[in-house]
């Protein structure tokens, strides 16, 4: 009969001589299990990155130091490490940018195998890689490990699909502003940014509507003060009928302002204070404050929004 369950957090490890279940949750992290076939001693770690850095402090966070540590601890309990069997789990590409997450997971798997091989410990079970997380449960009396895959939500799947798309081509930006000079400056800044391009320019909401349908932009840079229809009214309609990631770029959308809050409520990913960009004096502020916001917003998955109409104000 399995005793109590011990749950490992990232960077933790456990060695056990009694009956219990050691469990953890793995994404790109890796867990190594050890089991002594005659003594029934068991160990598990949960590490985040492959190699212990120079000047590092927490051995448990790194695969080479953490795995070597649990091997030494098991060796203290029983010097015959030839009786140890190992398992390697996790290392999925499940966080952040897919390419980076895949590299982290692959390195973690590689270092676990390397350390075990160097100590002559046989790997009898592996469940690694892929793009899903895992829950693992180790019975310390039998050495058996159960693995349960973590299914992704639709939101996560959509986000990862979009990240894959963004990684394979330039981000398409639609610039909507009634000032020809502002459009020219913003366009110049975007087109000088690697991995980004301007797919269209619009001076008002009606031109923007047509260009959205024609060019299918990844992200929209939207001014608020415009003729015919202001940017907030257009954003509200867009979020209801044809949602797209939007970055508000306006002199009246200052941080913490009612306008900025209203823009977020209507579906904007974020707002940039155009006045702070100081766009007539150079590109430095644009590169620092504006372009990163566009890049971040482009991988946002926009959803349709429903708005409750106040009966008193529905005709205003």
Rounded to the nearest angstrom, the gap between the alpha carbon of residue 82 and the centroid of all alpha carbons in its chain is 40
Query: What CATH fold (topology level) applies to the domain 168-298?
Result: Rossmann fold (3.40.50)
What contacts 271, CB < 8 A, 6 or more positions away? 247, 248, 249, 250, 253, 255, 259, 260, 263, 264
- β-bridge pairing 246-250 and 270-273: parallel
What pLDDT is recorded for position 90?
96
What pLDDT is recorded for position 255?
85
- The boundaries of every CATH 3.40.50.2300 domain in the chain are 168-298
Which of 131, 129, 126, 122 is closest to 108 using CA atoms? 129
Low-confidence ranges of the chain (pLDDT < 50): 96-99, 307-316
Q: What is the pLDDT of residues 219-258, one digit of tens each?
A: 999 999 999 999 999 999 999 888 899 999 999 988 889 9
Whether the full predicted model's pTM is greater than 0.75, yes or no, is: no
Residue 56: what are its φ and ψ, rounded to 5°?
-70, 160
What is the spatial distance between Cα 25 and Cα 48, in angstroms, rounded to a whole number?
12
Q: What is the pLDDT of residues 119-134, one digit of tens each?
A: 999 999 999 999 889 9
User: 5-151 in CATH: which number?
Assistant: 3.30.1330.200
- The boundaries of every CATH 3.30.1330.200 domain in the chain are 5-151
What pLDDT is recorded for position 181?
94
What is the spatial distance between Cα 33 and Cα 302, in angstroms, rounded to a whole number?
41
**Is 172:215 a contact under the CB 8 Å cutoff?**
yes
What is the spatial distance between Cα 27 and Cα 129, in angstroms, rounded to a whole number?
9
């Amino acid at each position: 009969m399995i005793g109590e369950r011990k749950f490992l957090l990232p960077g933790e490890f456990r060695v056990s001589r009694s009956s219990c279940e050691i469990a953890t949750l793995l994404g790109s992290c890796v867990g190594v299990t050890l089991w002594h076939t005659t003594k029934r001693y068991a160990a598990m770690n949960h590490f985040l990155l492959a190699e212990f850095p120079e000047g590092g402090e927490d051995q448990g966070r790194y695969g080479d130091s953490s795995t070597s540590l649990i091997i030494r601890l098991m060796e203290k309990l029983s010097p015959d490490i030839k009786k140890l069997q190992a398992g390697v789990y996790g290392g999925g590409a499940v966080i952040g940018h897919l390419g980076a997450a895949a590299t982290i997971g692959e390195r973690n798997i590689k270092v676990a195998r390397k350390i075990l091989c160097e100590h002559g410990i046989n790997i009898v079970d592996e469940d690694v890689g892929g793009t899903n997380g895992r829950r693992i449960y180790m019975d310390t009396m039998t050495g058996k490990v159960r693995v349960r895959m973590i299914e992704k939500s639709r939101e996560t799947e959509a986000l990862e699909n979009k990240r894959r798309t963004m990684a394979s081509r330039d981000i398409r930006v639609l610039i909507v502003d009634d000032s020809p000079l502002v459009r020219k400056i913003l366009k110049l800044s975007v087109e000088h940014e690697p991995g980004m391009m301007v797919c269209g320019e619009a001076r008002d909401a009606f031109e923007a509507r047509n260009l959205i349908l024609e060019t299918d932009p990844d992200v929209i840079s939207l001014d608020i003060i415009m003729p015919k229809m202001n940017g907030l009214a257009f954003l509200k309609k867009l979020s209801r009928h044809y949602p797209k990631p939007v970055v508000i770029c306006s002199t009246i959308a200052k941080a913490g302002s009612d306008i900025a809050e209203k823009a977020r409520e209507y579906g904007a990913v974020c707002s940039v204070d155009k006045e702070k960009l100081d766009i007539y004096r150079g590109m430095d502020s644009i590169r620092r404050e504006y372009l990163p916001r566009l890049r971040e917003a482009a991988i946002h998955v926009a959803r349709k929004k429903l708005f409750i109409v106040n009966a008193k104000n529905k005709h205003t």
